[in-house]
A and B are shown apart, each in its own frame.
Chain A
Amino acid sequence: MDTLIKATQNVKILKESDIIPLFDVLKANVIRSHMEMTVIFLKATVADSHQINVIEKLEEQIAHFFVSEVRNTDMLFKLEGSLRWGILLPQNGEEEGKAFLNRIFQLVKNENFPTKIDSAFTLQGIIVEIKNDQVMFEDLIDKQFEVLSQLSEPWEIEIVTSYKAQPIKRVKVSILEENAIFREVLELTVQKMIVDHFQLETKVFSDGYEFLQSDWYLSGHTHIVIMNDILPRKNGLNVLHTLRQMANQKKFIIYMMTNRKSQSDMIYAYESGVDEYLIKPFDLNLFQAQLKRTFARL
């Protein structure tokens, strides 16, 4: 395979052009699986950089060293220009990237190489954590050239935060409660919540029928439904069954508020598809904490 420069164990060194489609797939996954990824850029510097033969040999030896240090799931790629590499760490954040670079730098500084390297060299690195799907690989390449050219000290690590910002996600929140006073309190509690990366759209309903008659619940957005089990016209359990029978029912996160404390009622509610069970009267701070955990999982 012409794209394969070198293969050791299960890790292959890819060309810069070959990493782009993989990067795009993983980038899309960052949004779907809510798991960030990190790209590390490395630049090696040797004292005597004029001898081309020496550089080529050293490049091969350092690459071999990197291959022995990365995990099977990581992707090592060669950047255009001499003595520059990139490592893509899927499902890893900035902290893991930092720990990886520190370990590599420590090994080089102590000359504890698992492979033989002829000349002394120093390294500089950039860590880029990616949490959104808007970034293009070409932007990263431009960025690493720009940042690496600004690094003056050997063993310097620079963290690029430009691509950490998560895209804002729209989440619908419906409150189904008959008591107008409590309904407004719940609405206020939800509206007061500050949830990073989420834009909440809240609507209140006084009964299940009004909710099911609206087209509010038909869109594809993640939808948190906070409802009482007993409601006029169509009660909460009916609404629950209707929502859980929908084709895209997984978008609903259902909080059931109830006065029933018995274990069997709770078990029935959970088995019917309730995600959180709130026994009235409940603490609003606890309710907010539960909602925050829900958003953290989204």
Chain B
Amino acid sequence: MIELSIQLLLYIIAILLGFCGVAMIYLIYQKRNEEKKNHEMEKYIQNTKILWQGYFLGDDQFAVTLIPKNKYQILAVEHIFLSYLRNISNPIIQQKIYTFTQMYLKEYYQNELKSRNWSRKMNAMYRIADFHIQELIGTCEVSIKHKHSIEVFQLLKIYSILEKEKFIQEILLCNYSFSESEYKKLFSYLEVEMLQRLMEKIENLQQAAQYALIDTIAAKGSMAVIEGLEELLVSEDTEIRIRTLRGLERLGVIRNLETYIPFVNSSIWEERLMVAKLFKYAPLTYTAEHLEKLLQDSNWWVRSQAASTIIEDPRGYQRLKEFIATTNDQYAIDMANEVLEKRMRAV
């Protein structure tokens, strides 16, 4: 049994109490700081919100009182600016914000980027992207010496917003891999033309980036991308082919039906499903034969989609009736009857 003298125990308790006391003081100090920060921010927002409204939404002149005088006021200005940028789409307001940050906040962010505190540095990078402070891109590049993937991602985001050419160069050379949603976020800042340029070099991108690029380019809804997407239909990567078909379906245009016919006989059911979906954008006269084949598919989803596509056509109802009368495939008949009944109920 360990023997401890009471004196020693008292020492230990005193030391522990001392630690607790220090921790308490630290927490109280932090809380006070947080309260002071919130109070100062709120005070600035309350004092200036009418002036900002007048400056952004009306024709009011810029007032010198709006210039932040300390860190708390800068944080308040950031909050106001982000509230406008994230909720209101207005090029005039955007320009006023960019000009203001350029004039009054650039120096602050430059110092923040030089900070040893990683979170302060990252915050500065976020704001550089938000407020389009192009002049600080160089400082950002220098400041991320020990490259962390979050830093690289943020730098790529800054490039995709402010230096698109450099973004294309960097993303092709980038050794870091990001998630698909991160790549989608990066690509979402690019216009269709830039995305098309990336499409030409798609094989040089990481796999997740390839998938994200196909999804992003299709979501842009531009007809100009159809040709580029169709070229990907011959890819050896199944996922690329499926995503491309899904993207083309989202665009809702079939340029040449022949391009899609081979997928009717694909061994991958997702491809057959997507092509059954795509066929709703072509007249039933041309697709009926293929859709009837898909209606007899071994996969339930494919059969269901083929039946839905047929019934969506004005002549679909009659065509399904005729199909039921001529086929022996009980699964296909059941599916056709199901959509016919659904249609009758809807009418």
A contact set with B: CB distance below 8 Å: 179-182, 184-185, 188-189, 257, 263, 280-284
Contacts and interface: CB of A to CB of B under 8 A. Distances in A.
5 contacts: A182-B87, A184-B49, A281-B89, A283-B90, A284-B90
A181 B89 contact: no
Given A182-B87, A188-B53, 16 more contacts: A179-B83, A179-B87, A181-B45, A181-B49, A181-B84, A182-B88, A184-B53, A185-B57, A185-B87, A185-B88, A281-B85, A281-B86, A282-B87, A283-B88, A284-B57, A284-B88
Dominant secondary structure of chain B at its interface with chain A: helix
Contacts of B85: 281
B96 interface: no
Interface residues of B, number: 15
A280 B53 contact: no
Most chain B CB inside 10 Å of its own CB: which residue of A263, A281, A282, A283: A281
B343 interface: no
A281 B88 contact: yes
Contact of B53 (A185, A257, A282, A283): A185
Nearest to A188: B53
A282 B45 CA distance: 23
A179 B49 CA distance: 13
A188 B52 CA distance: 13
Contacts of B144: none
Contacts of B53: 184-185, 188
Contacts, number: 41
Most chain A CB inside 10 Å of its own CB: which residue of B53, B86, B87, B250: B87
Nearest to A259: B86
B71 interface: no
Interface in B22-66: 45, 49, 53, 57
A180 B76 CA distance: 13
Contacts of A257: 87
B86 A280 contact: yes
Nearest to A262: B219
A281 B49 contact: no
Interface in B93-137: none
B342 interface: no
A281 B57 contact: no
A119 to B, nearest CB: 60
A146 B88 CA distance: 56
Contacts of B255: none
Contact of A280 (B45, B57, B87, B250): B87
Contacts of A185: 53, 57, 84, 87-88
Contacts of B166: none
B321 interface: no
Contacts of A280: 86-87
A227 to B, nearest CB: 13
B79 interface: yes
Contacts of B282: none
A173 B49 CA distance: 22
A181 B80 contact: yes
A244 B6 CA distance: 71
A189 B93 CA distance: 15
Nearest to B87: A182
Nearest to A280: B87
B246 to A, nearest CB: 12
Contact of B57 (A179, A188, A263): A188
Given A181-B80, A188-B57, A283 B89 contact: yes
A282 B86 CA distance: 9
Contacts of B83: 179, 181-182
Nearest to B88: A281
A126 B79 CA distance: 62
A281 B93 CA distance: 12
A63 to B, nearest CB: 48
A284 B57 CA distance: 9
A230 to B, nearest CB: 13
Nearest to B83: A181
